[in-house]
Structure 1
Amino acid sequence: MADMAPLPSPFILSWRRRRKWSSPSMARFVSHALEASFLQVENACMRMSHLPHNKGNAFAWIEPCASLIMHITLVALIWFMPFVVSASPLSSRVGVTVPLTRRVNFADENGIVNTTLLQSHVTLIRQKLQRGFKAFEQNTGNKHPNDNSDLHKRATGPDPLTDDQSALWQGGISVGNPAKSFTVDFDSGSSDLFLPGTDCTVNCNGHTLYNPDTSSTSADTNAPFSLAFGDGSTVQGTIFKDIITVAGLTATNQAVGNANQYSAGFAIDEFPPDGLLGMAFPQISVFGEDPFFQTLVSQGTVTSPEFAVKLATSGSELFLGGVNDALFTGDFTEVPVTTVGFWQVNLDSVNANGNAAVTGLSAIIDTGTTVIVGDADTVAQFYDSVPGAEDASNTAGPGFFTFPCDSIPDVSLTFGGTDFPVSADTFNLGQLSAGSSQCIGGIAAANLGSFWVVGDIFLQNVYTSFDVGNTRVGFATLA
């Protein structure tokens, strides 16, 4: 018999399945392959049964044939198990879809940008990063590499009270037993879950309230929490443990902040969802607890330690426990997380009209940020490559730039050697004012230090995976 090519290891098969082959067609392939394998074994055994045998042992062919069947069955099971497990509709451990909706854009129905809201958004990005850096040092004993003293200073210029939270992505969860439904913003730039409690008397009216006393699975940790926001107000309360369910996936003994006070920006008029659910790493948890998705992973609730997002004007979703193959084409470009805490990766370059305007950056991938934010020097360097771009600090606000509305630049970001275009519709935030020929660009400057924050100005143009198990981020072309 000719030597057979070595079979790929189950690990290699599992990797290929997760990245390219997991689909209904894969299930059909598995079925047909198994059927073909056993037909070949059956034919071989039939031929063996017709061979001449010793009269004293006429059934000598049965033993080797049975052995062959056993071995081919074992090999088939090892070979195809990753596909079978993935394709099985009966498994409770496969990935699930969470529909997401986006709320308010920065531009009104006439395409005019609300510059006050825009300025506030950048201010609160800085505040969120500051909380994350502080929690990182508290949880690890080390200062975060991106922690810069300039980040802790108040921004110059106006500091409006309008909260940025109106720009985020929301979906549904349930908490406790009996389960009670809430809406939350899913935020890859933070790590904690908090909800307004029944004893909340500040800025909680109109929200659905969490009452741990009515949940048989709640437990009070007696640990207080406090989250400071850019308007000087706080979200504060006590940390409980309870059951949290998202799209049928349940995390038990999950930390949830029971807020007795909301900041002004979380009032119902500014923040329609009830709470916030962080999807980053435990290292930046203000609670000092595992985030919801890490709990799903550690409790074996999901097969794959990965979640993915599609952010768009319609059809947006969060996928927990893998990736949704229907939403992307080709392979993922994967980049490793450089410092575990935020989803921080290397950004090769930011490109304008086909030229690398800025290179060698570090970037935090944040679904809770709408714009793209960088340090003042590199953002100015980027706009130097955009014809007609102007510093709009005195009109749109500090850190913002404009460009001619009739000449939107071709913008792309390069990760892992692959260029990913940013559409004109997402890069162009809208007109500076009614009748203006100037539009505001989606890349802004702030006192961040030497790193960027990449929000949904970019993320709406790609399918993004967040791999907790392998600490990496993947980008793929939208289907």
Structure 2
Amino acid sequence: MSEEQEKVLSFQLTSNPNFTVRTPESVKHATAKHEEPKPKPKKGFLSRLKELDPKTAAANTPLYYEALTDVARDVQYFAEVEIGSNMQKFRLDLDTGSSDLWVADITCKTRRRRFIKANSTSFKPVKGKFQISYGDGSAVRGFLGQDRVNIGGLVIEDQVIGLATAQSMSFSNDVIDGILGLGFNSISCMPGTLTPIDNMIKQNLIQSPIFSVWLGRSTDGGGGEYRFGSYDAERVDGELTWCPVTVKRYWQIKCDGLFFGDVDLQLTSDVIVDTGTTLVIVPTDVAKAIHNHIPGSYYDENNGWIVPNTPEVANLPGFQLLLGGTKFEVIMKDLMREEVEGKEGFVYSGIASSDRITTWILGDVFIKQNYCVFDLGQERVGIAKCKHPVRVQPSILEQMKVAAVATPSKGGKCTIM
């Protein structure tokens, strides 16, 4: 393997001690994002893509990785992406449920990182403005520009970027600095522009028009990884099941059945595979059908669906979705989330309900268990049970070394290396 093929960007896992997990807020944001989208079909080079074999690409393409850091109990995953000639770094949410790239402009009042266009010699102004509003009250707006974007060593030239001059408090206080959308360009809020993945293909930066993702669990070491132009066959348990996209807006596919253990719940729907949503979100009747098989769970008006934090519940089989003729599991480990304040002995469910959506949303709770490959060329999603890395406990010597570094000497300052 050549030096270029071995190129891997690695990011040390970090934690944010001030971040608060808020499952109900995640539900509001996700349902607003997917509520009655207005498709804007566009013709172009994507319709002329060659049907390349993703399996061949997985073996032959240069390895472009973007390592992820997960926040709190897998509420969010972000990657550090560089923008501009001077490589300004931003923590971005790589989101298959949207299609635009935006960060805060230097004029924006926010505690997050901001883009300074004057410091980038490759920046070009673009006529136009953008605005994204959500039903939960969050919003972002600003103007457009073009610049170089480095995602895991893959450099996109002249990518259209939204530069936010104003954003709601929820964004200003967030861990992330912006969003990089990986959905279809028909849902772009910057019409007439190419999305980042469109440009990767148009500029011949990737061998095959695909990207893939695995998401780690915080309880198993966290992290995660995106690959562009290939997928990691070592993370695929068995074979990929390919599911055609039913509506080319989000990564929307058909679910032909829903099961809890061996019980067929007699429910079907289209589903959206969305890395930018934390939970699995379904209509109320579907949520009821699932939670009916979790003893002691119920819907709380203030907190949504909650489940008992007991060994009996933890040992339940979880639920399965029939996608492309294969059952894919969501285990109870991923359905039992953070503790509910004021409800001792209960945790939030990884399943939320909303009747404002017409399709089920399979967020990170689903993706943590199932490796996903997104194929723009053939407009399909490949899914397989994910092989997660074995978490290796540090040796006693390594633990002592870390403790020694983190412990201040008498009269000195503590330095974390």
TM bracket, shorter-chain basis: 0.7 to 0.9
Distance 1:351 1:238 in 2: 46
Higher mean Cα deviation, 353-362 or 333-342? 353-362
Say if 1:95 and 1:227 are closer, same or farther in 2 by CA, change over 3 A.
farther
| Counterpart selection for 1:126 from 28, 31, 41 | 31
Q: Within the alignment, does 1:287 sit opposite 2:190 as a pair? A: yes
Q: 1:129, CA displacement in angstroms?
A: 1.8
**3-state SS in 1 of match to 2:322:** strand
Q: Within the alignment, does 1:213 sit opposite 2:121 as a pair? A: no
Say if 1:358 and 1:456 are closer, same or farther in 2 by CA, change over 3 A.
farther
Q: Within the alignment, does 1:420 sit opposite 2:328 as a pair? A: yes
Gaps of 5+ in 2: 44-71, 388-417
Distance 1:169 1:234 in 2: 20
Q: 1:302, CA displacement in angstroms?
A: 0.5
Output the amino acid matched with 1:273.
I
**Count of aligned positions:** 350
Q: 1:342, CA displacement in angstroms?
A: 0.3
Two-structure CA RMSD over aligned residues (Å): 2.9
Q: Within the alignment, does 1:312 sit opposite 2:216 as a pair? A: yes
Say if 1:248 and 1:431 are closer, same or farther in 2 by CA, change over 3 A.
closer
**3-state SS in 1 of match to 2:30:** helix
User: In the alignment, which residue of structure 2 is the partner of 1:368?
Assistant: 276
Deviations 1:51-76 (A, max 9, x none): xxxxxxxxxxxxxxxxxxxxxxxxxx
User: In the alignment, which residue of structure 2 is the partner of 1:388?
Assistant: 295
User: In the alignment, which residue of structure 2 is the partner of 1:351?
Assistant: 259
User: Whose helix proportion is higher, 1 or 2?
Assistant: 1
Mark the structure with the bigger radius of gyration.
1
User: In the alignment, which residue of structure 2 is the partner of 1:261?
Assistant: 166
CA contact (8 A) 1:103 1:169 kept: no
Q: Within the alignment, does 1:239 sit opposite 2:133 as a pair? A: no
CA contact (8 A) 1:182 1:274 kept: yes
Q: 1:229, CA displacement in angstroms?
A: 3.1
Q: 1:358, CA displacement in angstroms?
A: 4.2
User: Whose strand proportion is higher, 1 or 2?
Assistant: 2
**3-state SS in 2 of match to 1:133:** coil
Q: Within the alignment, does 1:190 sit opposite 2:98 as a pair? A: yes
CA contact (8 A) 2:257 2:322 kept: yes
Gaps of 5+ in 1: 1-87, 109-113, 141-163
**3-state SS in 2 of match to 1:330:** strand
| Counterpart selection for 1:297 from 192, 198, 201 | 201
CA contact (8 A) 2:258 2:268 kept: no
- 5 Å-filtered alignment, 1:3-402, equals 89=2, 117-130=22-35, 133-134=37-38, 136-137=39-40, 167-200=75-108, 202=109, 204-205=110-111, 207-267=112-172, 270-288=173-191, 289-313=193-217, 314-384=222-292, 386-397=293-304, 400-402=305-307
Q: Within the alignment, does 1:407 sit opposite 2:407 as a pair? A: no
Deviations 1:402-423 (A, max 9, x none): 3573324312222112122222
Say if 1:266 and 1:198 are closer, same or farther in 2 by CA, change over 3 A.
same
Distance 1:165 1:457 in 2: 11
Output the amino acid matched with 2:267.
T
Deviations 1:4-51 (A, max 9, x none): xxxxxxxxxxxxxxxxxxxxxxxxxxxxxxxxxxxxxxxxxxxxxxxx
CA contact (8 A) 1:165 1:265 kept: no
Percentage of identical aligned residues: 24
Distance 1:415 1:102 in 2: 34
Say if 1:435 and 1:338 are closer, same or farther in 2 by CA, change over 3 A.
closer
TM-score by length of 1: 0.67
CA contact (8 A) 1:376 1:446 kept: yes
